[in-house]
């Protein structure tokens, strides 16, 4: 963060705000930022956001935003978590052709046109975004405006959090501002035009060279540079799930996995964990539904007699699945509660869901969310770290 920004709060705009994961990450990062405006079309997400932050995001479609909508806030930083479906198998990898990508593409269209451009941009999305045409458009737009870029794939397990949620992140900072920035267009002379042309040509060459690196430009480990060395050094020992779960939830019938759903599954592959386990699978928006495979981990609550009254063993769960549905039913499988999933995503304890939301809706919203701690570390040690840039 430069000296000027250290003297005042960083003003942020939050696009695709969901239940506020990026906002919470900003608060945890300690960089001194504030969110001036948020946008999301999901009214359930907006109800949760409003309940916790006291201000409801705008439900105006981002692909219909204007430069005036953005300029009025004079924001320094854009925080984005665009829909991931265009870059997933479930969304048929339609990429830029998916209507859900329009919001991101609209922002890229507006970026060179706004009078008050951000100096920092942060983007979160699903793994595989790094292989997309949308990513090329994103890097091209930012690079063409003089932004330096850091991209990475980071998972909570790299911070000792027992949840696998590998996600794509981009941090960008404007290093080479447009020569005529802040001037009236009518006041430009030939020298200004020449300087701008040289600036644009250099940005184009620099961006082309960056894109030519392909996936090699995307960092796949953390820490990925000296500036971030303290971010995870003391946190790499994965914690057991018992630090995140509430034993009282074992008796909640609403969390019990229906026997019918266990019996009807057609293939193995359930991710069954115990309180002693040190990792869980990614929780998706399908978690808590009848789609048990690939939507997230199930918690084994029953104890095996052979375990001598100790904690259930994952090996027992694996053997039980191989033995068939009858054996699985004896494991007392349940879903993680919304509060437990929120803890694994490192939302603050103060997070509350309004009474108007159902358990299913809460799990869907969390499945569409992100890990707050990971975002906070990237904001603190990369995006707003004065020493991070130029090292990657």
Residue 90: predicted pLDDT = 86
* Domain assignment of residue 225, yes or no: yes
Domain containing 332: what range? 247-336
Q: Are residues 140 and 104 in the same domain?
A: yes
Task: Give the Cα separation of 141 and 207 in Å (integer).
Answer: 9
Q: Supply the pLDDT for residue 178.
A: 84
Between CA 22 and CA 79 the distance in angstroms is 7
Out of 12, 77, 84, 174, the active site residue is 84
Q: In what order do the strands lie in the sheet with 33-39?
A: 33-39, 10-15, 77-80, 120-126, 167-174, 147-154, 218-219
Distance of CA 171 to the CA centre of its chain: 12
- Predicted local confidence at residue 72, as pLDDT: 98
> Terminal CA-to-CA distance of the chain, rounded, Å?
17
pLDDT for the residue numbered 176 = 81
- Residue 311 confidence (pLDDT): 53
Give the CATH number, domain containing residue 228.
Answer: 3.40.50.150
304-312, long-range: CB within 8 Å, 24+ apart, which pairs? 311/274, 311/275, 311/276, 312/274, 312/275, 312/276
Per the domain annotation, does 360 fall within a domain?
no
- pLDDT, residue 386, reads 78
**Residue 155 domain flag:** yes
**147 domain-assigned:** yes
Determine the Cα–Cα distance for residues 376 and 347; give it in Å rounded to an integer. Answer: 11
Task: Tell whether 230 and 251 lie within a shared domain.
Answer: no
| Residues 27 and 171 placed together within one structural domain of the fold | yes
pLDDT of residue 227: 40
Tell me the pairing of strands 167-174 and 120-126: antiparallel
User: In terms of domains, do 278 and 331 share one?
Assistant: yes
* Residue 228, pLDDT score: 45
Residue 152 annotated as catalytic: no
Q: Distance between CA atoms of 77 and 118, rounded to whole angstroms?
A: 5
Q: Domain check: are 320 and 276 in the same one?
A: yes
Give the domain CATH number at 261.
Answer: 3.90.120.10
Instruction: Please list the ranges in the chain whose pLDDT falls under 70.
Output: 1-7, 180-191, 222-236, 266, 304-318, 321-323, 388-392
The whole-angstrom separation of Cα 172 and Cα 78 is 10
> Is residue 200 domain-shared with residue 65, that is, in the same domain?
yes
Q: Looking at residue 192, what is its pLDDT?
A: 74
Can you read off the two tokens belonging to residue 164?
A: 């696998």
Please indicate, yes or no, whether the overall pTM of this predicted structure exceeds 0.85: yes
pLDDT score for 27: 98
Q: What is the pLDDT of residue 229?
A: 45
Domain count, the chain: 2
């Amino acid at each position: 963060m430069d000296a000027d920004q250290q003297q005042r709060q960083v003003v942020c705009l939050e696009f695709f705000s969901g239940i506020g994961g990026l906002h919470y990450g900003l608060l945890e990062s300690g960089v001194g930022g504030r969110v001036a405006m948020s946008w999301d079309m999901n009214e359930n997400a907006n109800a949760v956001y409003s309940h916790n932050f006291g201000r409801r995001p705008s439900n105006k479609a981002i692909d219909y935003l204007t430069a005036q909508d953005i300029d009025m806030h004079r924001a320094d930083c854009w925080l984005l978590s665009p829909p991931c479906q265009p870059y997933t198998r479930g969304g048929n990898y339609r990429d830029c052709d998916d209507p859900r990508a329009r919001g991101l593409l609209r922002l890229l269209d507006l970026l060179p046109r706004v009078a008050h451009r951000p100096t920092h941009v942060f983007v979160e999305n699903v793994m595989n975004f790094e292989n997309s045409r949308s990513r090329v458009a994103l890097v091209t737009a930012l690079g063409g405006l003089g932004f330096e870029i850091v991209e990475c794939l980071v998972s909570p397990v790299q911070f000792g959090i027992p949840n696998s949620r590998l996600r794509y992140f981009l941090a960008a900072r404007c290093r080479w501002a447009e020569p005529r920035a802040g001037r009236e267009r009518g006041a430009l002379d030939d020298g200004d035009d020449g300087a701008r042309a040289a600036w644009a040509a250099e940005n184009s060459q620099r961006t082309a060279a960056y894109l030519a690196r392909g996936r090699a430009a995307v960092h796949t480990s953390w820490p990925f540079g000296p500036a971030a060395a303290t971010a995870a050094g003391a946190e790499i020992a994965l914690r057991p799930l018992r630090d995140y779960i509430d034993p009282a939830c074992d008796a909640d019938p609403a969390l019990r996995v229906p026997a019918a759903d266990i019996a009807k599954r057609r293939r193995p592959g359930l991710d069954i964990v115990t309180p002693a386990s040190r990792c869980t699978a990614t929780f998706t928006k399908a978690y808590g539904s009848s789609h048990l495979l690939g939507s997230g981990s199930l918690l084994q609550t029953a104890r095996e007699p052979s375990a001598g009254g100790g904690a259930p063993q994952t090996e027992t769960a694996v053997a039980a699945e191989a033995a068939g549905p009858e054996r699985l039913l004896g494991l007392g499988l349940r879903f993680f509660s919304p509060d437990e999933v929120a803890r694994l995503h490192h939302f603050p304890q103060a997070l509350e869901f309004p009474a108007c939301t159902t358990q299913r809706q809460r799990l869907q919203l969390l499945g569409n969310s992100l890990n707050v701690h990971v975002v906070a570390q990237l904001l603190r040690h990369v995006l707003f770290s004065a020493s991070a840039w130029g090292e990657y």
